[in-house]
């Protein structure tokens, strides 16, 4: 009996020891310490208190415009901001180091006009921005590869003033406008499939967008070196406008072979070396105007052969080198008017003969100030070239 009692004591004692070991090996949960209120241009003393108290979350905004601040180490424990983070006009700020634990911003993130900021690397673990992302005017950042942990941004994205920018690789959809400005080389958004608006201003090289299938609108403006749109090879639908304006070196639309429809206007203007519409082999429907103007190197409309319907106007004007309308031979209807004007060397309009023969232009037809200006009746009768 004594032996049995001794054995039971040993077994029970062993269970207690094992249980105690498990408790000792467990990882203690990080304690949340919440700051109530906003920090608007806080004094150095307030920043030091915030750091010493170890705040992990703030129910308010943080706005930093503080003389002498060189980094963000006062926020090294912060994981969540239930408001905005605005870092603006800090002349001494060099790095965002100190925000490495920040994962959630429920408001907007603004990093603007910090003249000596050299990197935004401190935001490498940020996963969520509830409203807008704005990074611009930080002219001392030449190259950056960051923000690749962000999964969602609830509002608009505007990034500008980089020589090279790579990032935002995890975002799959955007409900706001996305704009990139004054960037020599952009690469990113490889997993983006849907967005509302996508615009590039003076972005000289564009890579990424491998998964993009639908956008609300697409605009590319005022580039000197951009020569290809192959980054949009999987794009199938543009719900709004598609605009190409002032792109000096863009010569064709190669890369847009899967684009099937444009919901609003298609506008191609003032692209100096633009020579043809090659690349549009799948496009059938334009939901508003088709406007091709002042492209001095455009020779023909070859590449637009698949277009069947233009709901708005067809405007072809001021294309100095344009010789022929071949490329429009499969066009079946124009909902509004047709304007073919001021194309100095245009002498062959036979490409719209079938269209006019079926009386498929909804409103006025204007053909004037070209090298050859036949009437619609002349074109239908076959007197359409000179």
Of the candidates 234, 357, 252, the one whose C-alpha atom is nearest the C-alpha of residue 300 is: 252
Q: If residue 199 lies in a helix (H) or strand (E), which one and from where to where?
A: strand 194-203
* Residues of the chain scoring pLDDT < 50: 1-28
Q: Are strands 109-112 and 133-136 parallel, antiparallel or unpaired?
A: parallel
Those residues with Cβ within 8 angstroms of residue 9's Cβ, 6 or more apart along the chain or in another chain: none
So what's the pLDDT on residue 271? Answer: 97
> 172: number of CA atoms within 13 Å, CB side?
1
CB atoms within 10 A of CB 275: 18
What are the chain's domains? Answer: 32-212 (3.80.20), 226-386 (no CATH)
- Distances in Å between the Cα of 96 and the Cα atoms of 74, 114, 118, 256, 301 are 11, 11, 9, 39, 51
d(CA 118, CA 113): 12
State residue 254's pLDDT score. 93
Distance CA 190, CA 310 (A): 32
- In angstroms, the first-to-last Cα distance of the chain is 121
Integer Cα distance of 247 and 295 in angstroms: 10
According to DSSP, residue 348 is labeled: B
Q: Please, are residues 221 and 248 in contact by the beta-carbon 8 Å criterion?
A: no
What are the phi and psi torsion angles at 52 (to 5°)?
-65, -35
SS3 95: strand
Measured CA distances, 48 to 51, 62, 103, 148, 245 (Å): 5, 15, 22, 30, 51
Decide the pairing of beta strands 85-88 and 62-64: parallel
C-alpha angle 343-348-350 in degrees, rounded to nearest 5? 125
pTM confidence score: 0.88
Looking at residue 309, what is its pLDDT?
Answer: 97
Report the pLDDT value the prediction gives residue 29, as an integer from 0 to 100.
56
Listed in sequence order, the residues at least 6 apart from 283 whose beta carbon sits closer than 8 Å to its beta carbon are: 256, 259, 260, 261, 262, 304, 306, 307
Alpha helix (H) residue ranges in the chain: 2-25, 44-53, 353-357, 376-380
How far from 30 is each of 20, 54, 55, 68, 131, CA to CA, in Å? Answer: 21, 11, 11, 31, 27
């Amino acid at each position: 009996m004594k032996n049995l009692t001794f054995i039971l004591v040993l077994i029970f004692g062993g269970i207690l020891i094992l249980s105690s070991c498990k408790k000792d090996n467990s990882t203690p949960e990080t304690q949340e310490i919440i700051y109530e209120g906003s920090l608007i241009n806080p004094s150095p003393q307030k920043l030091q208190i915030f750091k010493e108290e170890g705040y992990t979350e703030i129910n308010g905004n943080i706005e930093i415009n503080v003389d002498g601040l060189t980094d963000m180490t006062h926020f090294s424990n912060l994981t969540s901001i239930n408001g905005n983070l605005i870092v603006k006009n800090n002349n001494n700020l060099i790095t965002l180091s100190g925000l490495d634990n920040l994962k959630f911003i429920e408001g907007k993130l603004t990093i603007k006009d910090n003249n000596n900021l050299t990197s935004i690397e401190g935001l490498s673990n940020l996963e969520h921005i509830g409203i807008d992302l704005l990074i611009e005017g930080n002219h001392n950042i030449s190259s950056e590869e960051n923000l690749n942990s962000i999964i969602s941004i609830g509002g608009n994205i505007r990034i500008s003033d980089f020589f090279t920018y790579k990032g935002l690789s995890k975002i799959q959809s955007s409900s706001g406008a996305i704009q990139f400005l004054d960037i020599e080389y952009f690469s990113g958004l490889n997993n983006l499939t849907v967005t509302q608006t996508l615009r590039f201003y003076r972005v000289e090289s564009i890579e990424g967008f491998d998964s993009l299938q639908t956008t609300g609108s697409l605009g590319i403006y005022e580039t000197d070196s951009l020569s290809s749109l192959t980054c949009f090879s999987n794009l199938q639908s543009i719900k709004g406008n598609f605009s190409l304006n002032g792109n000096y070196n863009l010569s064709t639309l190669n890369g847009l072979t899967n684009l099937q429809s444009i919901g609003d206007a298609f506008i191609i203007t003032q692209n100096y070396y633009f020579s043809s519409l090659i690349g549009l082999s799948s496009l059938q429907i334009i939901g508003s105007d088709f406007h091709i103007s002042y492209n001095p190197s455009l020779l023909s409309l070859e590449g637009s052969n698949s277009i069947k319907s233009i709901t708005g106007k067809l405007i072809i004007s001021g294309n100095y080198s344009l010789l022929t309308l071949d490329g429009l031979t499969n066009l079946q209807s124009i909902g509004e008017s047709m304007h073919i004007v001021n194309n100095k060397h245009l002498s062959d309009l036979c490409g719209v003969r079938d269209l006019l023969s079926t009386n498929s232009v909804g409103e006025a037809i204007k053909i004037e100030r070209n090298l050859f200006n036949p009437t619609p009746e002349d074109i239908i009768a076959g007197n359409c070239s000179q």
